[in-house]
Amino acid sequence: MRNNERYVYSATTIIAVLSMLSIALNAEPLDHDDHHQQEAHLHGLVEMTLAIEGNTMELNLESPAANIVGFEHPVSTPEQHASVTRAKTILDMPEQLLTFIGTRCQSLSQDMNLSAVLQPAETHQNAEAHSAHQEHTDKNHEEHDDHQTHSEISVRYQFHCAQGTKLTAIKVHLFDLFPRIETVQAAWVSHSNQASAILTTDSITINLEAR
């Protein structure tokens, strides 16, 4: 039991460290021009962090909601509800997202956060703001929300691998399933090394043995 407790603490700590590294690697000067460029660049980018210890792996995905569902505001139409439902169905089946090379890995659990696009569309709005908002067209409404909000979708998976030390690579299929994704920035800690890689539609494999 104590060994399990040590593992949970270790994996959680590694994930936190990877998240901080990811933030640091993506940091840019905070002047207006650079800040604007950074905001524009976020669309199409997904961050993936992996922590592998023994036969257990934790994997985190962080993405702007626009990459996953096509918008970044609370759902307001049947089409948007359908888009969120489709995304949830795909993310609920990690075997569609990843192919493991070297050993077999099975999903144990997943924790998905879609709250940014599922919360009520009118939160903390007074009647005057609501009335003014209604004068906009649906198109202007969506454009306004996309520019003013930066909603994130996150998913955490835990896998059990038959032989964790033999896991050599992971193929990531996010690009086919979510065509708005252009780049995946992956970082990992495993039994053999700590490294990172940039994935694109032409390069979908994380080589866990890369230095």
Q: How far apart are CA 100 and CA 206, in angstroms?
A: 10
Q: Report the pLDDT averaged over residues 176-205.
A: 95
Is pLDDT above 70 for 132?
no
8-state DSSP, 200: B
- Give me the amino acid identity at 151: S
Query: Are residues 53 and 7 in contact, defined by beta-carbon separation less than 8 angstroms?
Result: yes
For the ranges 99-108, 138-147, 161-170, 188-197, the lowest mean pLDDT is seen at 138-147
Is pLDDT above 60 for 15?
no
Q: Report the pLDDT averaged over residues 80-101.
A: 95
Could you tell me what percent of the chain has a pLDDT over 90? 58
Q: Report the pLDDT averaged over residues 6-35.
A: 46
44 Cβ neighbours under 8 A, 6+ residues apart: 67, 180, 181, 182, 183
State CA 120 to chain mean position distance.
Answer: 22
Q: Report the pLDDT averaged over residues 83-108.
A: 96
Nearest of 163, 81, 162, 158 to residue 117 by alpha carbon: 81
Whole-model pTM over 0.75: no
